[in-house]
Amino acid sequence: MVKKIILAISFLSLQAVAQEHYTGISTSKRGGLVNGYLNPAELVNMNMKFDINLFNTSINFSNNKLTFSDLTKGDNLENKFFSGSEATNVRIDGLILGPGLAFKNGNWAYALSTAANFKANLVNVDVALGNAIQNGNSSSLFSITNLNTTENQRLNATTWGEIDLSVARKLAEIGRHKVSAGATLKLLFPGAYANFSVNKLNGTLVNNFGNLGLTNASASVNLSYSGVLGKDFNDSGNFSDFFSQGINGVAADIGFTYTYKEADSNNYILNAGLSIKNIGSMKFKSDSNTSIDYNLNVNGSQVLDMNQFENVSSLSQLEEILMQPQNAPYFQKTKSTQSFTVKLPTTINLYADLKLAKKWFVTGSLLQKVVDDSKYNLVTAQNTYTLIPRFSGKLVELFAPLTINEISGFTSGFGFRIAGFYLGSSSVISAVANNSKQADIYLGFRVGF
């Protein structure tokens, strides 16, 4: 199962077309719906009356093991995923902003927009366990691996769609100072979900010349799936299932901005914002739903056969194996439900855009998650810190993000905007220069007047 999942994650990363999405363009002086996605209060700061979003897409692959050259070469990826001593972490985070319209009228601004999201992750996977399962059945040696993990190891994937309704208002303007606020109500459409987690695994993995067995083991296990991701995790087409379960959840974004304007001008010297995003959850209610909690206990002379999991390609198949009579003594069900709730990845976003010279700006931003990735019923997020030097003209904009994120470390990128079209990456320079552990790209087109 591990081999198939790793190949699936790797394949998805190469299909990727950014964790902090639209880095650089989301704090553009132009303003509009992309800025409003970061902070709904920014809608009232648009320098146009209408902004029409046609298509925007952003995707980020980050990990702590593989470099960009490893991915492009595709050699021995499975073994490299479990190198070193640090637990393996992989995040694939995609966002599509579909058709949308923002309208500004005096002190008010309104927006109606659509979005599609997908995430696929490996979270805190123990390298000793991964190596043993990955290479054990092909080994001609005898070996013993002691497992003692305090983390919740997870394989997790989620897709969902949104219809977003936003409103923003200028609260006060005194001299050169302006304060605005905004909020977005998100109607959530769960698509598909998959989660397999093993929490606090302790035990001994014995490789008896290719026969893998787990002894003296204990852990808490969760297996949950809904929709097509339960049937086949390896099919990349399953990650495009965004709106299949109807409206089954709500979430909200709230935000505030402070603007210090130039004298006798609407242009700003400083524009700063604070937003809290994705406050809410969604309920998966598909007929194919399963959510089961197990206690894993392998005691005394008992041995759990690990080779039986080698060719598993879906969580529904894994569930069938756990139900077989020979595994019943080891996996005791403690809870089983058909519908379950998944919380969105709530984040705090803080940023400031400062004018340095006539058309030169620098932006500093912080994205801080307030969720715990170790919980199995949460969509993941990661902390990101960014500095963005930028040249900003009316029709042309150039920016070069410098980013540190929780999983892949430091990256540097480049992007540009020409009128309503933009293209960029927060990692393209570092990927070419020193083989960073992140690959991302974002692009889009919108019309404003």
332-383 per-position pLDDT tens digit: 999 888 888 999 989 999 999 999 998 999 999 999 988 776 676 778 788 8
pLDDT tens-digit map of 103-112:
999 999 999 9
Say if 367 falls within a structural domain. Answer: yes
Which of 62-71, 128-137, 157-166, 395-404 is least confident?
128-137
Q: Are 387 and 364 in contact (CB under 8 A)?
A: yes
Cα–Cα distance measured from residue 128 to residue 83, given in angstroms and rounded to the nearest whole number: 9
pLDDT band for 309, please (50, 70, 90 cuts). confident
Neighbours of 82 (CB within 10 A): 22
Question: With 60 as the cut, is the pLDDT of residue 14 above it?
Answer: no
Residue 232 identity: D
Asked whether residue 16 carries a pLDDT value surpassing 60, the answer given is no
Percentage of residues in the chain having pLDDT higher than 90: 48
Looking at the domain assignment, is residue 112 inside a domain?
yes
Asked whether the beta carbons of 442 and 424 are under 8 A apart, the reply is: yes
Is residue 446 domain-resident? no
Q: For the chain, how far is it from start to end, CA to CA, in angstroms?
A: 52
pLDDT at site 241: 61
Q: Report how far residue 39's alpha carbon sits from residue 164's, in angstroms, rounded to the nearest whole number.
A: 13
Tell me, what's the pLDDT at 436? 79
- CA distances (Å), 132 to each of 145, 207, 307, 313, 351, in order? 8, 8, 11, 18, 44
> What total of structural domains would you count in the chain?
1
Domain limits for position 148 = 2-49+99-381
Asked if residue 210 is part of any domain, the answer here is yes
Across 291-305, b (16+ Cβ under 10 Å) vs e yields bbbbebbbeeeebbe
In a domain, 444, yes or no: no
Residue 287 inside a domain? The answer is yes
CA 422/CA 268 separation, integer angstroms: 22
Q: Does some domain include residue 183?
A: yes
Residue 318, token pair as written in the block: 């894994």
Residue 399 lies in a domain: no
Q: Are 182 and 166 in contact (CB under 8 A)?
A: yes
> Residue 140: what pLDDT?
54
Q: What are phi and psi of 177, to 5 degrees?
A: -105, 135
Tens digit of pLDDT for each residue in 398-416? 999 999 988 888 889 999 9
Distances (CA, A) of 92 to 59, 122, 242, 251: 7, 9, 16, 22
Comparing 439 with 117, the larger pLDDT belongs to 117
Check: CB of residue 97 under 8 Å from CB of residue 33.
yes
What is the DSSP track for 351-413?
EEEEE-SSSEEEEEEEEEE-S-TTSTTB-----EEEEEEEEE-SSEEEE--EEEETTTEEEE-
More confident residue, 257 or 88: 257
The overall average pLDDT reported for the chain is 85
